[in-house]
Amino acid sequence: MKDRLKCPQCGSDCIARIQWGLPAWTEELRRRLKDGRMVLGGCCISDESRDWECRECGYRFGDRIVVQTRRLLNRENVLKDIVYGAAVGDALEVPYELMARDSFECTGMIGGGAHNMPAGTFSDDTSMMLATCDSIRQRGRIDIDDMRSRFGLWAFDGKYTADGMAFGIGRATARALVSGIGQSGVHDNGNGSLMRITPLALLQTSDDEVRLVSAIIHAHWISEEACVALVRILDDLTWGEYPEDAIVANIPKSEKFAFLRELEDMPRYEVHSSGFVLDTLGASLWCLLHTDSYRDCVLTAVNPGGDSDTVGCIAGALAGAMYGYEAIPKEWIDQLRGKDIIENCLF
């Protein structure tokens, strides 16, 4: 796996992002230009425009900006991009959940593992995201009671799963669904709200509505603010923003989230893939920043191990928003189980 992008021509990792258009001359832009992490490309974007320039040999590469420009002309399938991106990333990691860091290498979908599920099976992460989607589809709005009810149908009746059976239910999720009260202790900041919050990026939701949806299960303010940040970043990505800019523009004010500003320069060994909500958010965004395709993003998310099924799910949602459904390898889509369930929940 790579810590930084490398030039396909000379192998150097001295890579600068090419800024196209007429950017605002912010202090952040000036700093990146001065540091050599960014160069100006010009006003006009065409099929020849590229994303990265090697500072060693001058070679330009990457078609991310072309993909995004084309996708802006066809936004009706953005939810499909995000949901399938998340489901595939989730299914890739299920066999490796909680395995020791760097003790395996994921290259595609396989079965087995701790849950002994067939290849292509998505976990609770995708199931709860589908429950969120289905509630919005049925109710036409954010309905907290209805969402809570659908989460219960998943946990207790196996709805929104490929086999009619839920697995991988977290302790905070179980307590919240049994009691009907979101868990608000400092130790209740698992990543369970991040994995299901992504569909809200397609709605005109307020920050407070996002917080309420998080609080169905995870009601601590850290989890709520992490969900707001992810929803806003996803929304910006679907409108063609670079991930670097989308992240910086949506970092919550609390110092707890300040580390997100350092992700672009953070080495891989400092990236944590635990179940803590901030670790998951940071790891998912790091994978998006340090790769240049859907495939590389989700494999980079899955391979560290730990609680990286959720990292794989969220990184997959981000990469889906970034690159689109068409960028997901066809063989992974073909192997994904429960596609009929996914299609029935899209709104």
Greatest extent of the chain over all pairs of C-alpha atoms, in Å: 61
Is the pTM here over 0.95, yes or no? no
Running DSSP on this structure, what letter comes out for residue 198? G
pLDDT of 70 reads 56
pLDDT of 83 reads 98
Q: Which residues of the chain have pLDDT under 50?
A: 1-2
- Phi first, then psi: what are they for 251, rounded to 5°? -75, 125
Label residues 6-29 b or e (16+ Cβ within 10 Å = b): bbeeeeeebbbbbbbeeeeeeebe
Q: How many CB atoms lie within 10 A of CB 227?
A: 26
Q: Is 35 helix (H, G, I), strand (E, B) or coil?
A: helix
Nearest Cα residue to 236 out of 225, 247, 251? 247
Helix (H) / strand (E) element for 50: namely none
Q: How far apart, in whole angstroms, are the C-alpha atoms of residue 186 and residue 173? A: 15
Q: How far apart, in whole angstroms, are the C-alpha atoms of residue 265 and residue 271? A: 11
pLDDT of 100 reads 79
Query: Looking at the chain, which runs of residues are DSSP E strands?
Result: 15-20, 38-42, 52-54, 60-61
Burial degree of 168 (CB within 10 A; 0-12, 13-18, 19+):
middle
Q: How far apart, in whole angstroms, are the C-alpha atoms of residue 64 and residue 83? A: 20
Q: How far apart, in whole angstroms, are the C-alpha atoms of residue 195 and residue 126? A: 7
Q: What is the pLDDT of residues 5-57, one digit of tens each?
A: 789 999 998 998 898 888 778 887 888 898 888 899 988 877 788 888 999 99
